[in-house]
Structure 1
């Protein structure tokens, strides 16, 4: 790591496409246009997104509904499908239902992922796999839950001629705070480049309920630590991450933490590594 963690601040913000200036009217219209164009370009008919009850899926979901409503006025047959994907009983299910009530999706699909997740983990145990101590096993199971949710979303998108929408944004991307091939997988990522505070501002601008906009973020993937706040897992507050990405002053310890995690999680933001090119020129 560089001796000066601030030297990488602008470089990282640029790599994650964080705009220096934020105009909310421009942002939401640009992202709606992006989704509309990509759906039509792909020749698909639906946008599919899992709704967790957090502000990220709330915001992405509302953008999706605005997109399909607008396309239908132009004669393009499109719909937004919201998916509820609990693992058994979701502790904050009321927030997810409130989010869906605000978004008003065209269709709601509810799939309990617990049977599939439990069967997968048990099959691995039966095969002789070892998950380590209880904490390690809980983390592994959490990632299986995240990936199972994406399996279901892609199955739905296949059946409904749709594209899967992701909720990743710059504040999560910089910290690698997503499951590789789980919530990090998608066809379209409309929140890319936004910090957490900008996601919240966008949600508020779109009319989302205040309690959902300001809800304490939690991935809620660990059974041993239910509803564990993201900021405790990250070891740094979202406000500090946002300040770093938006080019504002932050403490050295915060900057060092963010830069270190960013570099250590590069593999999560990149595609598969491949061998060096061995192509031979046709002229040789």
Structure 2
């Protein structure tokens, strides 16, 4: 089991400890480098949920855009996209996140009509989705909207996937797991929290209980309940620390079972023979 932990740690690129300021500068530098290397990019697009991850990346994206505009006298912008499914239970948190980020532009798209229409069309075709599967429908609709916003604004879509999420496959394939670039990869949950604290994020968002909030039968279900393991245990695992055998087994099972989510689509030339 220890050997698998070493393999996973190498793949996830998490450092045993970080300097939040240095890590922030590295992520910002990566974003700037990518934008400069792709002349078509004039905007960065990200869905803002009111959670730690999107608040962190949104703030970094806006600071990156500000710096690029100062250096190049450019017209870059960060577009923060609100994607509620009807009324969001933690809407105030989302507004607090937006106020903290202070994005170049705010857009709100209610995905409920589109998801309802999609589910209705599937029902008419004889396809009945479970509540869990409908949750994936919501995640994919949100990503579709972000790509539409990016297409209309010469932009790219940012993804909030980090290593503590990636290791467990706790994302929807071709939903929130899709993006053009994933700047937070290589961080675990507590490291992201430390960077957000360094940037002056609101305490109630830094310490907010993480939830995907996709299932209507289980509203605001905490990630840690859904995963069956705490983020502290996942973070310790990624930092090479010893954790309980039970937690290690749960984490490694998630990693192996959800390997397909971390792979690009195969073709007949890339499939291992």
TM-score, normalised to structure 1, is 0.93
- Misfit runs of 4+, over 4 Å: none
| Residue among 118, 121, 128 paired with 1:120 | 118
State the 1:188 CA deviation: 1.3
State the 1:241 CA deviation: 0.3
Q: Residue 239 of structure 2 corresponds to which residue in structure 1?
A: 246
Q: Deviations over 1:212-246 (max 9, x none)?
A: 00000000001111111000000000000000000
Relative to structure 2, which stretch is displaced further, 154-163 or 73-82?
A: 73-82
| Residue among 129, 150, 156 paired with 1:163 | 156
Q: Secondary structure at the match of 1:188?
A: coil
State the 1:23 CA deviation: 1.8
Whether 1:14 aligns to 2:7 is no
Q: Residue 182 of structure 1 corresponds to which residue in structure 2?
A: 175
Larger Rg: 1
State the 1:76 CA deviation: 2.5
Rounded to whole Å, the distance in 2 between the matches of 1:222 and 1:246 is 31
State the 1:41 CA deviation: 1.3
State the 1:181 CA deviation: 0.5
| Residue among 50, 66, 71 paired with 2:68 | 71
Q: Residue 24 of structure 1 corresponds to which residue in structure 2?
A: 20
Q: Residue 45 of structure 2 corresponds to which residue in structure 1?
A: 48
Rounded to whole Å, the distance in 2 between the matches of 1:73 and 1:272 is 39
State the 1:113 CA deviation: 0.3
Rounded to whole Å, the distance in 1 between the matches of 2:177 and 2:141 is 12
Rounded to whole Å, the distance in 2 between the matches of 1:55 and 1:49 is 13
Q: Residue 224 of structure 2 corresponds to which residue in structure 1?
A: 231
Unaligned residue ranges in structure 2 (runs of 5+):
none
State the 1:31 CA deviation: 0.3
State the 1:197 CA deviation: 0.3
| Residue among 199, 204, 209 paired with 1:206 | 199
Number of equivalences: 269
Change (3 A) 1:254 1:277: closer
Rounded to whole Å, the distance in 2 between the matches of 1:231 and 1:263 is 18
TM-score, normalised to structure 2, is 0.96
Change (3 A) 1:277 1:212: closer
Q: Residue 88 of structure 2 corresponds to which residue in structure 1?
A: 90
Counterpart contact for 1:171–1:196, Cα < 8 Å: yes
